[in-house]
Chain A
Amino acid sequence: QKEVEQDPGPLSVPEGAIVSLNCTYSNSAFQYFMWYRQYSRKGPELLMYTYSSGNKEDGRFTAQVDKSSKYISLFIRDSQPSDSATYLCAGTLWRGAAGNKLTFGGGTRVLVKP
């Protein structure tokens, strides 16, 4: 079993809808969690970064972490066709993801239809 699990999708939604993405993880030592977005044939880029449990909002994006259930969520409001991409969640043990090992989920492919 992988340490971080995601439904591969694809998740297809109409433009303007809310996109809801989820991950579960098994390593209770993870302290920091990230969501990356990856467009086709590109490298992943960081979307959101959260520490421990709670919510974090950035524009149309909201990330939630529930450490008690080992559950990570990302919500995209007012979805746009440009949000069509693969979304990867990741966990790490320490602060400073730039210098530390990240464990990624397999990614969920999202399609936002005009």
Chain B
Amino acid sequence: DARVTQTPRHKVTEMGQEVTMRCQPILGHNTVFWYRQTMMQGLELLAYFRNRAPLDDSGMPKDRFSAEMPDATLATLKIQPSEPRDSAVYFCASGPPLHRGGDTQYFGPGTRLTVL
């Protein structure tokens, strides 16, 4: 049963600390998305990659957030320095190529981040 995995599942940190979240997309998927979900704003797209190349990171605060795909099996989202307003659930999703039925994104379980 192929799934998107995310680590850590929970993270509590203090303001100013660096936070790194990791995602392993489903094997064979070529698109990876990072979303942030809060009660106030709902589910927002932060950035996404296709074939490891960044396509759109317009939803991401550039001064403190960065997203990378060091290889096809790992995507990272970093926040440095973290702020209390970054507290949210961060979801990673991956999607197969269009010719393989690319009609949906598969979401991971999320990383619940609390910045004190």
A residues at B contact (CB < 8 Å): 2, 34, 41-46, 49, 88, 95-99, 101-107
The smallest beta-carbon distance between B53 and chain A, in angstroms, is 12
Chain B positions 1-49 with a Cβ under 8 Å from a chain A Cβ: 4, 29-31, 41-45, 48
Contacting pair A43 B108 (CB below 8 A): yes
Once the chains bind, are B42 and A99 in contact (CB under 8 Å)?
Answer: no
> CA separation between A97 and B29, bound complex, in Å?
13
Stretch from B64-72, B74-82, B88-96 at the A interface:
B88-96
Given A96-B98, A103-B45: 7 more A-B contacts, CB < 8 Å:
A43-B107, A43-B109, A45-B106, A45-B107, A98-B103, A99-B98, A105-B42
Could you tell me if A99 and B95 are in contact, using CB atoms closer than 8 angstroms? yes
Chain A residues, Cβ within 8 Å of B107: 43-45
* Given A46-B104, A96-B102: A101 touches B45 (CB 8 Å cut-off): yes
Q: List 17 A-B contacts (CB under 8 A).
A: A43-B4, A43-B110, A44-B43, A44-B91, A46-B105, A49-B104, A95-B103, A97-B103, A97-B104, A98-B29, A98-B98, A98-B103, A99-B50, A99-B102, A103-B45, A106-B42, A106-B43
Known: A43-B93, A88-B43, A107-B43. A101 touches B56 (CB 8 A): yes
B contacts with A, residue count (CB < 8 A):
29
With contacts A98-B31, A99-B95 taken as known, whether A104 is within 8 angstroms of B102 at the C-beta atoms is no
Query: Is B84 engaged at the interface, CB distance under 8 Å to the other chain?
Result: no
When chains A and B are docked, how far (Å) is the Cα of A41 from the Cα of B45?
A: 18
Q: How far is the CB of A18 from chain B (nearest CB, A)?
A: 25
**Contact call B109/A98, Cβ cutoff below 8 A:** no
Bound-state CA distance A97–B107 (Å) is 13
Say whether A98 contacts B91, CB under 8 Å.
Answer: no
Contact A98 B102 (CB under 8 A): yes
